[in-house]
Amino acid sequence: MRPLCIAANGLWLLSSLPSAIAFRANLHRVAEVQEDVLLRILSRDPRYASIRSVREYQQQVPIRTFDEMDLSDVPGVTHWERTSGSSGASKRIPYTRELLAEFNRAIAPWVIDLFVKHPTAFAGEAYWSVSPVLEDREGFVTDEEYLGPVRARLVRAVQAVPRSVRLAADVDTFRQETLRHLVRCRTLSLISVWHPSFLSLLLAPLWTLDDPRVQHAARHQDDAEMHRELWPHLRVISCWADANAERGAAELGRLFPQATVVPKGLLSTEGFISFPLLAYRSHFFEFRSGDEVLLASEVQAGQQYQVILTTGGGLYRYDTEDLVEVTGFRGKCPTLRFVGRANHVSDHYGEKLNELFVRERLERALREHGIASRFAMLACEERAYALFIESDAPDASLIGAVDTLEASLRENIHYDYCRRLGQLDALTLFRIRRDGVATYLTSDGAKLGDVKPTALDRRGGWGGRFEGEFVRVSFL
């Protein structure tokens, strides 16, 4: 099988070279390329085809959130994709051939860059996140199909898990079948998923799998050594590793000592933003800092910006609400690190809790009490916020972390005021027994593995969605 893998991966890499070469050759021409990208996108839409410059575009088209956009007249829509949302119902994103081409113009330099740094990752089979179809969805696209039809066929030729697994009746069946295929794959060399918890979730029932290889490897009594024996040729795990995904990525590094965890950068259903180099040949980007809006060629290292996105899929000056930090440059092209959701504020009673503030305080509290978690998130439940957490830590440790977190949340004057007025009760604790990640990311029918990291969800009712129970309730 390895010669076939090398041949298929080699053809894929060769087909990606022209786009990757163009990406590298224009690293010093980011401003010019970005304007060309914008005019190419606008030329395909009669509503904006008369615009002739970036300045004219900015003057005529306002920055808008998703809810403010009218996507009913997007030309050339081939299908609609659903994306998960932490603030409400999931969004339906229009897809066009041009948008898929834009994704491919970013994937090509990314995969060549990955090959240059980790060539042995392409010597065997690969697992590219195969998501289950949990309900009928218009125009559902599997993850590898973002590569385009030819490259998708090459990737499928070396897939460790067949596409048919996505038709599993439920998540448990999907997980079992995926694991069985992965365990049979002795020459697995590359794993590509989105959130690192997705892979941890898949591996959870590994010890109970009725398979001779697993039973033999289980003699190690150590997850890392067991994984090393099952997949000795695994060299790269590609996943999100910024913001709330940082802990999960570090855990994968511990569980797979034979592999390097390579951060994915910032990708979403709406567009391909970075890998971590800005995907400047794909979409048109603007960066907002306060009232100032800058182009990709104008951002400064060390500064944080909110990403404004224009794509060939009908999103024009779309406020992604993604906050990124510029960590450096290659040529004139910035490298980016995802920080969090810029305008992600939960405000039920005037408490005005920001996701970035909550994430920093949550991580600090868990670290102070020595708690490792598979999933941790705050959301408002009745008259109090609750920490929904999936962890092996004892109740006493979790309660201690909740007390610490409650005290630090009250450093927010709005939250503290709501607490003093009695509009909000003290932070409560909900222990998730299992499948925290799966429950969260499939709550709106989104693709498993497509959830964005979050420490704060503005929706309520999670106590009735997660499998588990309240350990401490303050509002009864």
Q: At residue 60, what is the residue type?
A: Q
Q: How many CB atoms lie within 10 A of CB 298?
A: 13
The predicted structure's pLDDT at residue 1: 53
Q: Which fold has domain 345-472?
A: GMP Synthetase; Chain A, domain 3 (3.30.300)
> Per residue in 378-394, pLDDT tens?
999 888 999 999 999 99
> Per residue in 161-177, pLDDT tens?
887 777 767 777 888 88
61 vs 3: which has the higher pLDDT:
61
> Per residue in 397-424, pLDDT tens?
999 999 999 999 999 888 998 888 788 8
Query: What is the pLDDT confidence band of residue 141, given thresholds at 50, 70 and 90?
Result: low
Query: What is the pLDDT confidence band of residue 86, given thresholds at 50, 70 and 90?
Result: very low
Report the length, in residues, of the chain.
Answer: 476
Q: What is the pTM of this model?
A: 0.78
The predicted structure's pLDDT at residue 366: 94
> What whole-number percentage of the chain has pLDDT above 90?
42
The predicted structure's pLDDT at residue 194: 78
Q: Is the dihedral of CA 250, 454, 104, 318 positive or negative?
A: negative
Given a cut of 50, is residue 139 above it in pLDDT?
no
Out of 145-154, 164-173, 369-378, 435-444, pick the least confident.
145-154
Query: What is the pLDDT confidence band of residue 246, given thresholds at 50, 70 and 90?
Result: confident
Please report, for the chain, the start and end positions of each structural domain, with discontinuous segments joined by +: 2-29+91-263, 345-472
What mean pLDDT do residues 27-45 have?
95
Residue 110, judged by CB atoms within 10 A of its CB (0-12, 13-18, 19+), counts as buried
Contact present, 348 and 461 (Cβ < 8 Å): no
Which residues touch 361 (CB under 8 Å, ≥6 apart)? 405, 408, 409, 411
The predicted structure's pLDDT at residue 134: 47
The predicted structure's pLDDT at residue 88: 46
> Per residue in 257-283, pLDDT tens?
999 999 988 888 889 999 899 999 999
| Spatial distance between the Cα atoms of 377 and 230, rounded to a whole number of angstroms | 32
Helices (H), 53-131: 54-60, 97-117
| Spatial distance between the Cα atoms of 56 and 52, rounded to a whole number of angstroms | 7
Q: At residue 341, what is the residue type?
A: R
What mean pLDDT do residues 294-303 have?
95
